[in-house]
Amino acid sequence: MAATKLRRNRGFTLLEILVAIAIFALIGVASTGVLNSVIESDQLSEERFAKLEELQRAMLTIERDIMQMTNRSVRVNGEANSVVVSGGEDVMSSDAGGLAFVRSGWHNPQMLLPRSTLQSVGYRLQEQELQRVYGNYVDNVIGYEPKVRVLLSDIEDFQVSFLTDEEKVEDAEDWEEIYSSEVLPLAISVTISSKTFGEIRREFLVGGANSDE
């Protein structure tokens, strides 16, 4: 009777304790792995969401500028120039396609600032960055360096094409890849190749509504 009671009160053996420790260790390792996976997934989701917001802001900026495009030329090196829109390879010293024009609607409340409501803007690709190039004045003095705002990073290619005949809007082959004219085009197509989102193409009616492809 006493021997039976002693066996019941002897507690755990060393082997049982080691087995229990091993089980708890495995559970801890598995839990840590799951937690790290959840944290990494959350970080990737936040980074992708931030890039998506950046892309949306860039598209809204491009849309606003193109829809406010106006029939105004810019002096080149202080000399008169009749071209109102330029686009294609090497425009704006771009590594790919480029675009340059003048837009209206630049907010200047009660004309308090020493500038007009017109602004010369351009888009280009340099060092895998989609950049918006702009100045405070439409006709800047010789030697003036324009301001540069990076819209998107990790961009592999940037191309612009132009539509001048509304009867050919359905045919992608009729979009012109090089454009330099005294007349505004009917529509402008922008194609961005992103490492994150792949190829993105948007078509904008100049001075009107826009549509996606």
Residue by residue, pLDDT tens for the chain (213 residues) are: 545 554 555 666 777 777 788 888 888 787 777 777 777 776 777 888 888 999 999 999 999 999 999 998 887 666 778 899 999 998 999 999 999 999 987 776 666 665 677 888 999 999 999 999 998 778 766 667 889 999 999 999 999 999 987 655 555 567 899 999 999 999 999 999 999 899 999 999 896 444 444
User: Where exactly are the structural domains of the chain?
Assistant: 60-212
Q: What is the pLDDT, as a whole number, of residue 208?
A: 46
Cα 130 from Cα 201, distance rounded (Å): 14
| CA distances, 147 to each of 45, 88, 122 (Å) | 32, 21, 10
Superfamily grouping for domain 60-212: GSPII I/J protein-like (3.10.610.10)
**145 DSSP assignment:** P
Q: What is the pLDDT, as a whole number, of residue 212?
A: 43
